[in-house]
Structure 1
Amino acid sequence: MDRNVRITAKEYGEWWAQYDLSGLAPGQEPSEELKTIAAECDVIICSTMPRAIETAAKIVGDATRIVPRDAIFVEAPLPAPPIPFLKLNPTMWGRVSRVFWFLGFAPNGMESHLAARRRVKRVIGRLVEYAERGEDVLLAAHGYLNWMIDGEIRRMGWQRVQHHGGNDFWSFRAYRMPARRTQSTKEALTAE
């Protein structure tokens, strides 16, 4: 999708909807490092959005591996802000939209910032389930959601052991579960 156009907020809403439906741009390829990491993972999961599905397929590179898809892993929304007349490029509109969203703007039943934070906790719960079974899991998801996961999972005591590429396309982060987590979680689960 062209990010060099100047569009209104309303047009940005349409642009973002098309972006959500689009897949990877031609020629986009993961690094060999990311492919190696994926090859060592027991479980590969992704969102239901085309670009996440295509990302998972490219990093797995083996059509026989199952890649479960789940809408819980979709990107946090970017609602077009209620600003008439102003024209910005999609990158700037994304920043403005995120600020409005942080401040509570979530029109037409769109997921709010608070609801997205709750969803991130459920996402992490899924990741923890795999880790507690001793499985290495790779999640192919979206930039801002991944950033939200990063902050929350580290607050939970997980150690980020690798971070490559910032928050750009094909970037990745790796985490290690705290050594005592497995036992304390099992105790908490049996206490419920």
Structure 2
Amino acid sequence: MIDRDRRVNATDFGVWVSEYDAVGIDARHRPPQAAIEQARGCAFVVCSSLPRSLESARALGMENIGACEPLFREMGMPYANWRFPRLGLAVWSVLFRLMWAVGYSANAEPFKEARERARACAERLADLASLHGTVLLVGHGSLNWFIARYLKSMGWKGPRKSPRKHWDFAVYCHQAT
């Protein structure tokens, strides 16, 4: 569980991000039945290499993971090596994500490279869908948003807005021409 009131300096925020990436999911927060049913209909499962992605797939009832690839990991969160000020985790998250979008990338992959990785993810998913029919990606927030944009630019149809909450999902379809 994330303690959103915890106040840390920027360096400790970086430590927290690393720790967060190393842990799995909170077992008390189960996926909704609609997500489980949607997952069951997929022929191939793709996860990132982060523990929470693999555990989420298992919570959805997916035991046979077709691909577990670092390509699909969350977009890295930059952070600075500052001792002051001490701010809440949510404040640092928003601040560093905004700074990252305008070019600050200390301790993280640059924004432009992350966007290119999202494009590669969309292409990989399209390839997997052509091989397997239906593909479930158990992914991560920011990356999912960019993947959705690239899938749409490749002719895939999906919801106007990408889901933002834990366990939310979206379905994207491609019509052969």
- TM-score normalised by length of structure 1: 0.84
Q: CA RMSD in A?
A: 2.0
Q: Counterparts of 2:131 and 2:114 in 1: how far apart (Å)?
A: 26
Relative to 1, partners in 2 of residues 1:134 and 1:62: Cα closer, same or farther, differing over 3 Å?
closer
Deviation at 1:159, TM superposition (A): 0.9
Q: Tell me the equivalent position of 1:79.
A: 78
Compare CA radii of gyration and give the structure with the larger one.
1
Deviation at 1:82, TM superposition (A): 5.8
The range that moved more, 141-150 or 69-78, is 141-150
Deviation at 1:138, TM superposition (A): 0.6
Deviation at 1:134, TM superposition (A): 5.4
Check conservation: 2:118, 2:147, Cα contact below 8 A.
yes
Check conservation: 2:40, 2:62, Cα contact below 8 A.
no
Q: Tell me the equivalent position of 1:9.
A: 10
Relative to 1, partners in 2 of residues 1:157 and 1:82: Cα closer, same or farther, differing over 3 Å?
farther
Check conservation: 2:72, 2:121, Cα contact below 8 A.
yes
Calculate percent identity across the aligned residue pairs: 30
Deviation at 1:81, TM superposition (A): 3.8
Check conservation: 2:80, 2:106, Cα contact below 8 A.
no
Relative to 1, partners in 2 of residues 1:90 and 1:67: Cα closer, same or farther, differing over 3 Å?
farther
Q: Tell me the equivalent position of 1:185.
A: none
Q: Can you give the 5+ residue segments of structure 1 that lack an aligned partner in the other structure?
A: 181-192
Read off the aligned partner of 2:49 and give its amino acid letter: T
Read off the aligned partner of 1:104 and give its amino acid letter: G
Deviation at 1:156, TM superposition (A): 2.4
Deviation at 1:132, TM superposition (A): 2.1
Relative to 1, partners in 2 of residues 1:16 and 1:113: Cα closer, same or farther, differing over 3 Å?
same
Equivalent runs, 1:41-190 vs 2, <5 Å: 41-59=42-60, 61-63=61-63, 65-81=64-80, 85-108=84-107, 110-133=108-131, 135-161=133-159, 166-180=163-177
- CA offsets 1:105-139 (integer angstroms, 9 cap, x no match): 2225x311110111111101111112223510010
Check conservation: 1:162, 1:175, Cα contact below 8 A.
no
Aligned positions, number: 176
Check conservation: 1:81, 1:100, Cα contact below 8 A.
no
Q: Counterparts of 1:26 and 1:132 in 2: how far apart (Å)?
A: 34
Deviation at 1:104, TM superposition (A): 1.6
Q: Secondary structure at the match of 1:106?
A: coil
Q: Tell me the equivalent position of 1:189.
A: none
Q: Secondary structure at the match of 2:49?
A: coil
Flag as ranges the 4+ runs of structure 1 deviating above 4 A: 161-164
